[in-house]
A and B are shown apart, each in its own frame.
Chain A
Amino acid sequence: MIRRPETERQKIIDEFLDWLDAHRHNLPVNASTWTFQLVEKRTVAEQELVTLGKYNAQKARSIPFYKPYTKIFKF
């Protein structure tokens, strides 16, 4: 999905902060330490995930071998 323009993101956050300020006394007394982040979900398409057959796993990223397999090229 396409991200919202920055102004629109800021507007959403501002509205949220206004709400927070207006209701501060109805919130937990430590609400001043809360931190926020606007998240626009990007659902990873199934085919983007790495499948590990036998493990019944679908991973965002698989893992490399821990050492050089052989030593045939150098960088």
Chain B
Amino acid sequence: MIAIQSHSDEASTDDVIDWLLYLGADRIKRLNGNVSLNKETLRINNDSGHSSLFGELQAYWYRRGYFTLDIPDTGNPYPAVTTYFEKEYEYYTNGTAHFLSKQHSINSFCDNHTNKITNLVEAARAGLLIPDTLITADVKEIKAFAALYPRIITKAIAHNRIAATIDSDTYINIAVDTAIFDRDMIDALSAEQHFLPAVFQEYLEKKYELRIFYFHGRLYSMAIFSQLNEATRIDFRKHDRETPNRCVPYQLPDDLENKLRSFMQRIAMNSGSIDMVVTPSDDYVFLEVNPVGQLQWLSGNCNYPVEREIAKFLLHDQETGNRTTENHR
């Protein structure tokens, strides 16, 4: 069984299934969204492991979605018991995700817990350049930091969306996007107030941005000419539909590819989308890695065989070798 955990409206999953079917896969199981483990069984011993979710497991691809355990509402007068259930079963769902990640697999639910701060530390240790980063609530520190650079930016530590519920079908969507933290904002802060901490980084001038899809040692890189469109200068994800950013294949220098491989090994993530910036002085600066980034955007604009290679991996068909750079060099 080739097991895929995703969302019902996730286009790259359809694309990979197209390749699987074309290459002759006959047993594919796609689970979507919220997958309950209430009725499932996990067996682990020294010889083997087995989850009833997928039967005989040939390969596993985590793309989207999560495992849950539904705790029945018994009108329990002792909330601590319910809290205990929640905590207890979280270890079961995470354990199942871990079990699957140890099979022949791509990504894992656990990759969603990747930490941007940890990753910056590990990127620097792998020899990659990272932006000067400050995490603080101390206004004096922020002011001193801002004095070092022409401009600074701020972004979320991990979560960039807050849904502030108004009622059952209304909420205020709060976006914590990458934004310039300008002079006025800095001046408005008073050192006497006690804020909560946030992330600040030097603003990097960019020639172009890079989106790099890493997958079991292979790298597929794309340059994004976001400078062409004013609206996308800060965060290219906010690109306007009318004039999409020019996106083209890019060949990273070999030593940089090796550093990225070693970085991904350090953070133990077997697949992810890496964001980098190339500065006007040709420095390559690492920004972040997302475990389940957009694929069509990259493969579609660069004509990279990413979806086919994922399908081949799931089919244990590795004859194209571990380095893909040969494909598009």
Interface residues of A (CB under 8 A from B): 1, 4, 12-13, 16, 24-41, 43, 49, 52, 54-60
Q: How far is the CB of B144 from chain A (nearest CB, A)?
A: 14
Q: B22 interface residue, CB < 8 Å from A?
A: no
Q: Which residue of B lies closest to A29 (CB)?
A: B195
Chain A residues with CB under 8 A of B173: 36-39
- Cβ B175 vs Cβ A36 within 8 A: yes
Number of A-B contacts (CB under 8 A): 107
| CB pair B8 A27 closer than 8 Å | no
Among residues 146 to 184 in chain B, which have CB atoms less than 8 Å away from a CB atom of chain A? 154, 163-164, 166, 169-177, 179-181
Whether a CB of chain A sits under 8 angstroms from the CB of B210 is no
B-side contacts of A37, CB under 8 Å? 172-173, 175
A33 x B179 contact (CB < 8 A): yes
Q: Contacts A25-B194, A55-B14 given: A1-B9 contact, CB under 8 Å?
A: no
Query: Smallest CB–CB gap between B3 and chain A, Å?
Result: 12
24 sample A-B contacts, Cβ–Cβ < 8 Å, listed by A number: A16-B172, A25-B193, A25-B194, A28-B137, A28-B195, A28-B196, A29-B142, A29-B196, A30-B154, A32-B185, A33-B154, A33-B176, A33-B181, A35-B177, A37-B175, A38-B172, A39-B172, A49-B8, A49-B9, A55-B13, A57-B10, A57-B30, A58-B9, A59-B14
Decide if A60 touches B9 in the complex (CB within 8 Å).
Answer: yes
Contact A40 B196 (CB under 8 A): no
B232 at the interface (CB under 8 A from A): no
What 4 pairs across the A-B complex have the smallest Cβ distances?
A30-B198, A29-B195, A33-B179, A25-B193
In contact, A39 and B171 (Cβ under 8 angstroms)? yes
Q: Smallest Cβ distance from A7 to chain B, in angstroms? A: 15
- List of A residues within 8 angstroms of B9 by Cβ: 49, 57-60
Residues of A within 8 A of B32 (CB): 56-58
Asked if B195 and A25 make an inter-chain contact with CB atoms under 8 angstroms apart, the answer reads yes
User: In the bound complex, how far is the Cα of B163 from the Cα of A36, in angstroms?
Assistant: 10
What B residues does A38 contact at CB under 8 A? 166, 170-173
Q: Which residues of A contact B268 (CB under 8 A)?
A: none
Cα–Cα, bound, A9→B195 (Å): 29
B222 interface residue, CB < 8 Å from A? no
Provide the bound-state CA to CA distance between A13 and B166, in Å.
10
Measured CB to CB, the nearest residue on chain B to A37 is B173
A32:B188 contact, CB within 8 angstroms: yes
Closest residue of chain A to B176 (Cβ to Cβ) is: A34
Q: Which residues of B contact A35 (CB under 8 A)?
A: 174-175, 177
Q: Known contacts A25-B195, A59-B8; can you find 20 more A-B pairs with CB under 8 A?
A: A24-B195, A29-B197, A30-B154, A30-B181, A30-B185, A30-B199, A32-B185, A34-B174, A36-B172, A36-B173, A36-B174, A38-B170, A38-B173, A49-B8, A49-B9, A55-B13, A56-B32, A57-B10, A59-B11, A59-B14
A57 touches B172 (CB 8 A): no
Residues in A neighbouring B277, C-beta threshold 8 A: none
Q: Tell me the bound Cα distance from A30 to B177 in angstroms.
A: 11
Chain B hits for A39, CB < 8 A? 163, 170-173
CA distance A4 to B172 in the complex (A): 14
B21 interface hit (Cβ, 8 Å): yes
